[in-house]
Amino acid sequence: MANETGLTEFYRPKAWADLRPELREAVANKYIPLYAGILGWAINGGLLREKGLPVPRTWQDLGHPRLRGLVAMPNPNTSGTGYTMLATVVQIYGEREAFELLKRIHRNVAQYTRGGADPGVLTGRGEVAVGITFIHDAVDNVLKGFPITYGAPSDGTGYEIGGLSLVRRTRNREAAITFIDWALTPEAQMIAATQGQSYQIPSNSKTPIPRVAPRFQDFKVIKYDFLKYGSAAVRDALVRRWTTEVFPLPK
């Protein structure tokens, strides 16, 4: 949206040819891909077993009444993860059916969180059985010792492309460009994973993918339309509809 409103401009970094082509194509010169992360779930299998419930497999499963009070989801008004989930189910099912599903899931939500990683923490604590989150955040929780696993819906899931942008008419243009070019080097992109901070898929094809990072080939990842669902008009309309038609419903 920053590019759409003229806040940022596109800069072609030195490593452009080394960036994963599927990520370059997806953002269509709106910004520079830095990493990709797959949307999924943190799962507390122990809590599900305690309640005699099966592990959910699809988005539809999250709307089943047996999960009442056992789901955590980020609020799409405050969380990009929450909006990615909203846009994902709309792309899979179409808007009408997706919103009927979101209403069913709403009845099961124990807490809407402000941040996208928070549902994984709630799942790890045993406050809910399923937390909608990016899988790399669930991986981080697993590595920190939380008794959870992770997965993604078999009917398809979306993903994010975290990125970099150059602010238009910035007073520190040369410094900003230097930072962008550095951040896209394999050496820079390896820092977060080696320090135990980040397990996304790095955008530079020459950067080793962290061993524990979720891979696209392991999940049914949809061809997420970043141009359409990244536009301000579409995003605002979907979030507004969710806020007025889903969020106020009783549970």
Distance CA 191, CA 25 (A): 25
pLDDT tens for each residue of 49-65: 999 999 999 999 999 99
What pTM did the predictor assign? 0.95
Burial code of 215-239, b = ≥16 C-beta within 10 A, e = fewer? eeeebebeebebeebbeeeebeebb
Number of residues in the chain: 251
What's the pLDDT at 1? 65
The residue type of 3 is N
pLDDT tens for each residue of 14-46: 999 999 999 999 999 899 999 999 999 999 999
- The list of the chain residues with pLDDT below 50 reads none
Q: Where are the domains of the chain?
A: 1-251
Q: Please provide residue 209's backbone torsions phi and psi, each rounded to the nearest 5 degrees.
A: -75, 130
Helix axes of 232-245 and 80-93: crossing angle, nearest 10 degrees:
90
What's the pLDDT at 195? 80
What's the pLDDT at 206? 97
Whether domain 1-251 has CATH 3.30.413.10: the reply is no
Distance CA 246, CA 249 (A): 6
pLDDT tens for each residue of 242-251: 999 999 999 8
pLDDT tens for each residue of 103-112: 999 999 999 9
